[in-house]
Structures are given as C-alpha cells and as structure tokens.
Amino acid sequence: YSCLSEVVLEGEFRDGMLHGRGSIYWPRGQRMDAVWNRGKMEQRRYTFADGLSYRENDWDYCAYPDRRFYNCVVNGLKPAGEVLKTNDQPTKIIPPYCYDTGAGMFDPDSNCVTSYRNCKKVKISLGSDKDVLKIPTAIESAWIKNNCRKGWSEPTGHQEWLHEYWQSGTADFATLPHVSQDDEAGIWWQRYKYKYFKQLKIM
C-alpha cells in the first residue's frame, strides 16, 4: 500500500489493517520491520537510511565515551579540520537560531519544520509555504531545542565529565556571554575568545 506521502506499507493485511509481519518504508530510506496484531504494532525494529539499527533498550549510539557517528564507525574518523558535524553528508546549512531535526529545519519563531531548501531564515506564513513539513507539538519543540544541532555556536559551560581536559583551577563560566539575536552567529564568540581563553590559560 502506497501513501500520498510516498510511505510504503508492505506485508500482511486483515480487514484493511496490518496483521502479521510487515514493513514500512519511508522515502528517505528508513525502514520499520514489525509484527502487527489487527493494526497494533507488537514487535518492531527500526533501521535508519544508512543501515544503523535502533535498539530500544540500552542504545548507546553516539553517546559518551564513544561519540562517533555511524558514518565514522563504518568509514573511519576524519582528520582534524574535517571532522563530521552530522552523520548525513553533506552537512546541511542551518541558519542562526534554527535547528537541524534530521528531516528538516526547525525555526522556533514560526514553530515550523521546513525543507532544507530554505537556505536562509525566513518568516513562514502558515498555510502559504509549501516547504512546511511539520508543526511540532510543544513537547516535540522542547525536545528539538534540547537535542538537535543548532545553527550557531555557543559555549556549553562546565562539563564535569570533561575535567581531565582542563588544567588546575576553575573558570567562571557563568560570566560567559549568551548568544542573542542581535549578534551574528559565529562572529560574537570571536570578540570574547581572547579574554576567556586567556582566563583559562590556554592562549
């Protein structure tokens, strides 16, 4: 069965519902193999487009201490200066103050996920832009902001588990500036770099 969204359902059906073994295929290459009981999924295995399989319990992909993307696991790490920012290549260009959801670009101002074709941030007029892919719920929006790649750089603050990388002494990270929409992403940090790197004694 093919949906208008180009999602394909393949498997055993009963009374118009998936019943038994079947698979769902997404246009970007993802796949869900599952066992259904009268339309209800009882067992499942999700595989990403690159072949990485998702494990619901104890899934440690891209987590400390092994932060490698699956691309790097398969093809090896890149040298310094060529480290991958995302698993999918080439890395998508995300405008400042927007987020990369993996399926599109999330703009908090419009609360829309739009196509990557929007190469620069624009105001989205709801109902008039064909590139709007999704309007996330409040829970989804919060998850995106906490977990997805940002279109700008900012200091992360003190990370206790990274203590082995720091010299003796402490730095007052609370005084580090926070990015504001009045600053251009990637430039504001340069203005403060010398002062705070000197404070950390690494310049």
Regarding whether 99 and 67 lie in a shared domain, the answer is no
Separation of alpha carbons 109 and 178, rounded Å: 18
Regarding whether 66 and 24 lie in a shared domain, the answer is no
Regarding whether 110 and 77 lie in a shared domain, the answer is no
* Domain count for the chain: 3
* pLDDT at residue 21 in the model: 92
Are 99 and 93 in contact, with CB atoms under 8 Å apart? Answer: no
Q: Is there a domain that residue 53 lies in?
A: no
Look at residues 128, 150, 172 and tell me which one is the last residue of a structural domain. Answer: 150
Regarding whether 142 and 98 lie in a shared domain, the answer is yes
Separation of alpha carbons 151 and 97, rounded Å: 6
Q: Can you give the residue range of the structural domain that contains 144?
A: 92-150
Question: Is residue 88 scored above 60 in pLDDT?
Answer: yes
Question: Is residue 175 scored above 50 in pLDDT?
Answer: no
Regarding whether 142 and 96 lie in a shared domain, the answer is yes
- Look at the pTM and tell me if it is higher than 0.85: no
Q: Is there a domain that residue 160 lies in?
A: no
Regarding whether 129 and 109 lie in a shared domain, the answer is yes
Regarding whether 97 and 136 lie in a shared domain, the answer is yes
Question: Is residue 147 scored above 90 in pLDDT?
Answer: no
Separation of alpha carbons 37 and 133, rounded Å: 30
